[in-house]
Amino acid sequence: AGAASGARGPRERERAAQMLFEGLQVPAAFLGRSAPLTLYASGRPSGLVVDVGHGRTRVIPVQDGFPDYRASQEWMFGGLDSTDVLRRQLLATDASRAAASLDDVRQIKERIGFVPLRYDQEVRTISKRPFLLHDGSTVHIGSERMTCAEAFFHPRLVGIDHGGLASLVHMAVMQSNPDSRRTLYLNMVLCGGSTLYPGFVDRLHQEMQKLVPKGVPVNISAPANRAISPWLGASMLAGNPGFGGSWITSQEYLETGPSIVLRKCE
């Protein structure tokens, strides 16, 4: 038995239950939501989950374990898009041969990419760094290694018409209950592999300070294992002795069918 975090809509969740019980024939299962599971992994019942995933970025307020999807914000830009920004940037440089291999581009992004605190200043002074490609040749990477990350905060720099991550976070908070906004600003939790960029936390904090009301503190939690936070939260929840009554058993599934996931896992 285990807890899963990936399925989104009702049909997806029903299909996930069908796969678990009919395909894998598990004795029991529970489908959790990724945002509450992320907070659970960090020991928080309430907070604001900033999830920068592979193909999209989501900001989800959670109150006492329940996601507020009315206030949630979504941007169809994620790690894959950041990689593509880097690839396009490399094509216009002397390091263009690096763009021929998506794996090389991804490795450049993950190993030497970073988020600048002040892009306009650092782009003028950044030095090129050598990078060994998979074919054994070496290329030298300059500002491209920070532009791919800067796109999360200043997307118009790379031709994307969007206000960026900080504005997305601010909109989610402002759409939430006014009484909960301070709690959300104090309990922002990062999730997803793209938040691992060096400098990501400091830059987001700097951008948020420009948007929050004067005197309102901002606290951003960035767990070291945040690339897999929902799965860690699911593992912790599955191992909690008090969680036993929440499982969907195989017998319940046989009696009710896939729709039981919509009743027991909301």
- Which pLDDT tens digit goes with each residue over 187-242? 999 999 999 999 999 999 999 999 999 999 999 999 999 999 999 999 999 899 88
* SS3 label, residue 136: coil
H/E run at residue 17? helix 10-18
pLDDT at 3 over 60: no
Work out the mean pLDDT of the chain and round it to a whole number.
94
Range 102-121 average pLDDT = 97
Tell which wins on pLDDT, 9 or 181: 181
pLDDT for res 139: 96
Tell which wins on pLDDT, 265 or 183: 183
pLDDT > 90 in the chain, percent: 88
In the chain, at which residue ranges do the beta strands (DSSP E only) sit?
Answer: 2-4, 28-31, 47-52, 57-63, 66-67, 73-75, 129-132, 138-141, 188-191, 220-221, 248-249
In 138-243, at which residue ranges do the beta strands (DSSP E only) sit?
Answer: 138-141, 188-191, 220-221
pLDDT at 39 over 90: yes
Distance (Å, whole) CA 187 – CA 39 = 9
pLDDT for res 98: 94
Give, to the nearest 10 degrees, the angle between helix 34-41 and helix 229-238.
80
Least confident of 9-13, 82-86, 94-98, 106-110: 9-13
pLDDT for res 165: 98
Range 180-184 average pLDDT = 96
Predicted confidence band of residue 78 (pLDDT cuts 50, 70, 90): very high
Predicted confidence band of residue 50 (pLDDT cuts 50, 70, 90): very high
Neighbours of 180 (CB within 10 A): 20
pLDDT for res 2: 45
Helix-then-strand count for the chain, H and E: 12, 11
